[in-house]
Amino acid sequence: DPPVRKFLTFTDDLIALADWLASLQVKVVAMEATGVYWVPLFEVLDARGFEVYLVNSRATRQTSGRKSDVLDCQWIWQLMTHGLLSGAFRPADEVCSMRSLVRQRANKV
């Protein structure tokens, strides 16, 4: 099994995660696109040159009973290693920025 480590979601921790992955010569990262926690991690990894696959959580479902982050990440690793995952659509950075601005404006008006 590949090594597993836990990182917090602060920027320094995400940078430490990117450093750790680079030290292991990881080139491709697959992650579930759930909630909002994936956004800063995606941006850090993308900026560091990793090939990042956002995957739909429905595509990573396993049998019931898989309930921990460690088991989830190992399962996603297995699926990605065997070519069983494809990346979800993510608009260009400019479109993401515009969407964010439109949402903020809608909340203010």
pTM summary value: 0.73
Question: Is residue 3, in this structure, part of any structural domain at all?
Answer: no
The Cβ of residue 62 has, within 10 Å, a number of other Cβ atoms equal to 12
State which residues form the domain around 59: 11-108
Predicted pLDDT of residue 37: 81
60 or 77, which is more confident? Answer: 77
Name the average pLDDT for the chain.
83
Question: Is residue 82, in this structure, part of any structural domain at all?
Answer: yes
Predicted pLDDT of residue 87: 73
Residue with tokens 């995400």: 14
Question: Is residue 53, in this structure, part of any structural domain at all?
Answer: yes
Question: Is residue 1, in this structure, part of any structural domain at all?
Answer: no
Do residues 7 and 13 make contact, with C-beta atoms less than 8 angstroms apart?
Answer: yes
Give pLDDT tens digits for 3-44: 788 899 899 999 999 999 999 999 999 988 777 888 899 999
- Cα–Cα nearest to 93, from 20, 55, 42: 42
Count of structural domains within the chain: 1
What pLDDT band is residue 76 in, cutting at 50, 70 and 90?
Answer: confident
